A and B are shown apart, each in its own frame.
Chain A
Amino acid sequence: MIKKFDKKDEESGSGSNPFQHLEKSAVLQEARIFNETPINPRRCLHILTKIIYLLNQGEHFGTTEATEAFFAMTRLFQSNDQTLRRMCYLTIKEMANISEDVIIVTSSLTKDMTGKEDVYRGPAIRALCRITDTTMLQAIERYMKQAIVDKVPSVSSSALVSSLHMVKMSYDVVKRWVNEAQEAASSDNIMVQYHALGLLYHLRKNDRLAVSKMLNKFTKSGLKSPFAYCMLIRIASKLLEETEGGHDSPLFDFIESCLRNKNEMVVYEAASAIVHMPTCSARELAPAVSVLQLFCSSPKAALRYAAVRTLNKVAMKHPSAVTACNLDLENLITDSNRSIATLAITTLLKTGSESSVDRLMKQISSFVSEISDEFKVVVVQAISSLCQKYPRKHSVMMNFLSNMLRDDGGFEYKRAIVDCIIGIIEENPESKETGLAHLCEFIEDCEHTVLATKILHLLGKEGPRTPAPSKYIRFIFNRVVLESEAVRAAAVSALAKFGAQNDDLLPSVLVLMQRCMMDSDDEVRDRATFYMNVLQQKQKALNAAYIFNGLSVSVPGLEKSLHQYTLDPSERPFDMKSVPLATTPISEQKSATSKMPEKMAPSRQDIYQEQLAAILEFQGLGPLFKSSEAVQLTEAETEYVVRCVKHTFAQHMVFQFDCGGVTVCVCVCVSQVGV
């Protein structure tokens, strides 16, 4: 009898891992004993365990060695040792993707699946379905159907769950088993009910009427399984949402009745579903909210977390509905679980009054260093909406935010704070100086180029208009000396703006620019030289054109026009007027906490330009000058709706007709038509 451990493993104490120094080649070598007879179950079991452990650790098995090991493992089916057989099933599943010819075990598995040993049948089904393809599936179809309605719950569950996995691969075959699944749904076993319901829904989900009928049946017949109830609640909510059903529908009544279910999981699911419904009145929310309020004082952390997370959602749309829970939420601020505490605070920030803001901010600052980055961002976003709600509290907020800026944190976190501060500055002119001062302090030690350049840009914009602009110059110039190229370039641009707006500062700025002209990076030198020349002219119009106003044309449009110009060189200099103006981006992103403040969304016109350029016939037309808005050519009620977009090129017009999913483009040469 081979002992499981070496003596030395045992002696080295509990720090050792018997699997630690496993070598794949050694283990595969050992696997050769699978071919020996008689089969030693204990030894073989141990080797299989090692193989699976290695796979789990990410060890790579080549196809040949995997196939060899797999084939050797199939010999172990001769043994009747239960654990060994179960491990064989597991090995089959684990190696299904890396070994070839795995279907050789099909007959053994089919035998086990229909055999007398109940303990084997479920796992054998699951292993078999893992290696089955569409053709094979038809061959074992009748076994699957029998298994689904089998009286042994584990067999039925295994068959139902495996059927679900195979829906993606062979929807048409599995769909034929709907009746069996329906029968299985009337089982007493709580897991079988759940699995049957799940499979039925996945098979029917595109047929709203069928889903509706199924729901009606199950909500009346009263299932026992809490998992099945949760599933039903989700199906019901989805159906309500899709049909935009009113809240006097029996579906809503069903969900509401689940608030009184014995199982907490179901109660919570129901409350969560009600809260997430897009149109819910305060009265309808009330019972859900009171249930959540009770959960806030549960001894189970998961329940408190779930409750407070959901109340947080309610507070976004119906803050008044949550006010009743304020006391319970305040108790949660000191919860040992920091996620719960954070959610409690952010919820209170949404529902609290102006007077409670100070107290809340103090409480947050005491623990914000302990929570994870994701939560820090959540807190900052809550503060940002609070700032918009109570503009008079901006000084408290600003203090708090600047402290957070000084602490450690990731990029997303710092960016959220910077955006928040910028938001406050834009809303409250009184807070401008404090805000800018905090930001200056931040860029002294900021590792994120994106943020530094953003702040420098802001300083350039706002700084010159403050009463004492000179103090910002020091901060900006320090950046020129110390930082990376991108930041230095941004600093130069910012400096230029100060020079352009403040005549008394101009001499100092020019001196600084001179120094920048010696920079090691060409972008920095170019900008410095350019601005020097513009500033030295001392003309307001030039300053306005080149320093203050940014590019008024769309950047992708400019790129395309320049590209076009280089392809077709001519004596004429490049004309900026030929570039289409920047049209409004598709997604307006004005909010301070927008997710993509740096990137400008491609405008509609740019997208059209790309699409048209991709068409061979239209490539010779030149750059797109302008695209019109889509014009409806038919009435909205007609069966087919046709819209037309007119694209104007230098000498051609392209009419784009959109009808349903089809688009037809007609190109007309304008110079020939007498327009």
Chain B
Amino acid sequence: MDSMSMEPSLYTVKALFILDNDGNRLLSKYYDPELYPSMKEQNNFEKNVFNKTHKADNEIAFLEGMTVVYKSSIDLFFYVVGSPQENELMLMSVLNCLFDSLTQILSSCAGCHGNRCGSNAGGWGKNVERRYLLENMEGVFLVVDEIIDGGVILESDPQQVLQKVNYKSDESPLSEQSVAQVIQSAKDQIKWSILK
């Protein structure tokens, strides 16, 4: 741990990843090309970080020369990685934004899945679960894309992220789609059926 002063830069996040209960990668982005450039090194890093953090449930750790902030939820683990001289609160704000945005998106989907997994019909809390994450992977990809771009924090407010992503689960009944979208898709169908 050296005491070099930080070069001012917008590039604050080195990596971000989401792992499941067994430490398998569900999503991961590495923003610093010098940090673990190969897949093998990345997998190794994720494994090491997972081993040291999945039991502890503390928010922050110093591993392999990097500051890692993390949060877990039922069967998922969320990590944001920065350089050891980075402002830890800044990294936390990214983690919180990620977690809160995903919670919102995925809990709204859980409601309509209620009829498939009856056990969750009532007490759906603010917790993100692996199953719903995987079912709505595109939403997750888009959320991550809206929070960090190339290592720069793009947005820190979950509400803003959700507005920009504007993601709706596909299993939702017709009423969840906007009226405009329904009319548009109807128009498309008619147009193509005529042209065929």
Contacts and interface: CB of A to CB of B under 8 A. Distances in A.
Interface of A: 4-5, 10, 14, 17-19, 37-38, 41-42, 45-46, 48-49, 52-53, 56-58, 80-83, 86-87, 90, 93, 119, 122-123, 126, 154, 157-158, 161-162, 164-165, 190-191, 194-195, 198-199, 201-202, 205, 227, 230-231, 234-235, 237-238, 241, 264-265, 268-269, 272-273, 276, 300-303, 305-306, 309, 312-313, 316, 336-340, 372, 374-375, 378
A82 B166 contact: yes
Nearest to A4: B135
A104 to B, nearest CB: 22
Contact of B8 (A48, A52, A238, A372): A238
Given A273-B5, A303-B88, 16 more contacts: A18-B135, A38-B189, A38-B192, A56-B25, A83-B139, A154-B155, A194-B153, A238-B8, A264-B89, A268-B89, A336-B58, A337-B61, A338-B58, A372-B62, A374-B65, A378-B1
A231 B171 CA distance: 43
B184 interface: yes
B162 interface: no
B138 A18 contact: no
B115 interface: no
Contact of B156 (A227, A238, A338, A340): A227
A17 B75 CA distance: 13
Contacts of A87: 138, 141-142
8 contacts: A14-B129, A81-B181, A122-B164, A123-B145, A164-B152, A234-B5, A303-B88, A372-B61
Nearest to A60: B39
Given A86-B142, A90-B145, A198-B152, A374 B184 contact: no
Nearest to B93: A265
A190 B97 CA distance: 15
B179 interface: no
B63 interface: yes
Contacts of B14: none
Given A4-B171, A161-B10, A195-B10, A374 B138 contact: no
A375 B39 CA distance: 27
A195 B137 contact: no
A244 B165 CA distance: 46
B27 interface: yes
Interface string B154-172: 1110001000111110110
B34 interface: no
A234 B170 contact: no
Contacts of B91: 302
B164 A301 contact: no
Contacts of B93: 265
A126 B137 contact: no
Contact of A301 (B5, B59, B139, B152): B59
A235 B8 contact: yes
A238 B5 contact: yes
Contacts of A337: 56, 58-61
Contacts of B152: 161, 164, 195, 198
Nearest to A263: B89
A230 B137 contact: no
Nearest to A18: B134
Contacts of B8: 201, 205, 231, 234-235, 238
Given A4-B170, A45-B138, A49-B138, A56 B28 contact: yes
Contacts of B28: 56
A309 B9 CA distance: 21
Contacts of A374: 62-65
Interface string B43-69: 100000000100010111111110001
